[in-house]
A and B are shown apart, each in its own frame.
Chain A
Amino acid sequence: MTTSPPTAALLHAQGLAFARNDEPVFGPLDFALARGETLLVEGDNGSGKTTLLRVLAGLMPASAGELRFDEAPLRRESLAGRALFLGHQLGLKLDLSAAENLRHFVALYGQREGLAPAAALDEVGLAGYADEPVRRLSAGQKKRAALARLLLAPADLWLLDEPFANLDRHGIALVNRLLAAHAARGGAALVTSHGAVSFTDPSTRHLRLELNA
């Protein structure tokens, strides 16, 4: 997809900080994320993990510091279609079925070659639930329906906010599998977690956010 070598830093932050009404939320942080790498952002509740991800997704501007994406200053336009953000709110319409939700997503974000929404739902363990309204799915199943987006969208950078929340053992294994496949393809991922260790890959790097007292 790009000519840059697979080890080049896809995302690079220097002195990145965010403050809300002059109240520091996180930072300053320095980190680099290369292609094929997964970075686990750890921190207690309220340490700014979600805020960090929202800043990286381009939903809000950082208060200070520099952010570079693929060798250029990060701008919302440069992220479009190349980054995928999965937040606390899953963005699923409860009155639509999982398949309808995914078809809507694919129309907006594009679709990886050779994978249809129905097949993606099979892969995340929702075979047989594709046409069920999302309202009737359990919290874990809703999470899985949202995770199916990761299979479908052709994005380089994944920003996953608490992807392990609400998932059972198999679901956690599924997220790990998705992340491994993404890394093998040369994709990068930033994953937040409030501490409950769910990662199996020992090569994963960690970034610790401290509470700003």
Chain B
Amino acid sequence: MRPGSTAAACTAVLRRDLLLAWRRRGDAAFPVLYALIVATLFPFALGPEDALLARIAAGVVLLTVLLAMLLAFDALFRPDLEDGSLELLLLAPQPLALLLGMKILAHWLTTALPLIVIAPLLAMMLHLPAPAQPVLLAALLLGTPLLSLLGAVLVALTAGTHRSGMLLALMLLPLTVPVVIFAAGAVSAAEAGLPHLAPLLWLGAALVLALVLAPLACAAALRIALDA
């Protein structure tokens, strides 16, 4: 790949963000530990009855994963904004949306993927019925990238404001609701032995839409954020 080509730039952004996450792997482990702690505490709070835990297992795992992802959102663009890397990225002779797409991909790979890896463990710990487990995994595989993309747009929108954490949480809530409804709907349908494909397909459709639109929206939002 020739330096300065779009392909080289995309790989460079992806590789750098993954390398940075690896150099600071202590920080990257925090959402995973958080999810592990929250899911472990549920049986202590609600009592260890199998039936009760099995009924709430899918919801607990889904929400734990989503909340753990929220913790990491602020790190998506803020460090780059503060150290000037974002200016370099914005002024680079490359399509900004593609480069930001790579940043979002790297962020998903380093925060959501480890959570998806431990999710089956959490589900088993809470006695989620076996037939529902692959559906939960599928819902997470479709739902977490969707949430990453939606979150990235909001993080980009609030990047220019100081102490944006509160605003971000408020704005993210309404966008998270449909993701949770469809993901939980698929898993509970599978638990009941009903067809569960439709909600998964809805998640997939939303993901495809977000894949195309979210990086473009991020690019526009960050240009405005740096304008201030």
Is A91 a contact of B88 with CB atoms below 8 Å?
A: yes
* A129 in the interface (beta carbon within 8 A): no
* B24 in the interface (beta carbon within 8 A): yes
- Minimal Cβ-Cβ distance residue in B for A20: B228
Is B3 a contact of A59 with CB atoms below 8 Å?
A: no
Is B4 a contact of A111 with CB atoms below 8 Å?
A: yes
Q: State the Cβ distance, A65 to closest chain B Cβ, in Å.
A: 17
Is A93 a contact of B85 with CB atoms below 8 Å?
A: yes
A109 and B5 alpha carbons, distance in the complex (Å):
8
Is B91 a contact of A59 with CB atoms below 8 Å?
A: yes
Number of residue pairs A-B, CB distance < 8 angstroms: 86
Is A95 a contact of B12 with CB atoms below 8 Å?
A: no
**B-contact bits for A187-203, CB 8 A (1 contact / 0 none):** 00000000000000000
A20 and B10 alpha carbons, distance in the complex (Å):
35
* B49 in the interface (beta carbon within 8 A): no
A40 and B132 alpha carbons, distance in the complex (Å):
68
A81 / chain B contacts, CB cutoff of 8 Å: 4, 92-93
Q: State the Cβ distance, B11 to closest chain A Cβ, in Å.
A: 7
* B90 in the interface (beta carbon within 8 A): yes
Known contacts A90-B84, A96-B23, A107-B12; is-contact A58 B3 (Cβ 8 Å): no
* B94 in the interface (beta carbon within 8 A): yes
User: Which of B9, B20, B23, B82 is close to A108, meaning CB atoms less than 8 Å apart?
Assistant: B9
Selecting from A5-13, A98-106, A167-175, A205-213, the interface stretch reads A98-106
Residue with the greatest number of chain A CB neighbours at <10 A, chosen from B3, B8, B11: B3
* A61 in the interface (beta carbon within 8 A): yes
List B residues 74-95 near A (Cβ within 8 Å): 82-94
* B51 in the interface (beta carbon within 8 A): no
B93 / chain A contacts, CB cutoff of 8 Å: 80-82, 108-110
Is A106 a contact of B3 with CB atoms below 8 Å?
A: yes
Q: State the Cβ distance, A109 to closest chain B Cβ, in Å.
A: 6
Is B16 a contact of A100 with CB atoms below 8 Å?
A: yes
Is A87 a contact of B87 with CB atoms below 8 Å?
A: yes
A104 and B89 alpha carbons, distance in the complex (Å):
10
User: Which of B24, B88, B99 is close to A95, meaning CB atoms less than 8 Å apart?
Assistant: B24
**B-contact bits for A109-144, CB 8 A (1 contact / 0 none):** 111000000000000000000000000000000000
* A204 in the interface (beta carbon within 8 A): no
Is B226 a contact of A60 with CB atoms below 8 Å?
A: yes
A180 / chain B contacts, CB cutoff of 8 Å: none
Is B85 a contact of A108 with CB atoms below 8 Å?
A: no
Question: Shortest 9 CB-CB distances between A and B: which pairs?
Answer: A110-B4, A89-B84, A81-B93, A107-B12, A80-B93, A91-B84, A108-B92, A95-B23, A91-B88
A-binding residues in B (CB < 8 A): 3-4, 8-9, 11-13, 16, 19-20, 23-24, 82-94, 99, 226-227
12 A-B pairs with CB atoms under 8 Å apart are: A80-B93, A87-B87, A89-B87, A91-B86, A93-B83, A103-B12, A104-B16, A106-B4, A107-B8, A108-B4, A110-B4, A110-B93
12 additional contacts (CB under 8 A) given A87-B84, A92-B84, A109-B93: A61-B227, A80-B92, A83-B91, A93-B20, A94-B83, A95-B23, A95-B24, A106-B3, A107-B11, A108-B9, A108-B12, A108-B99
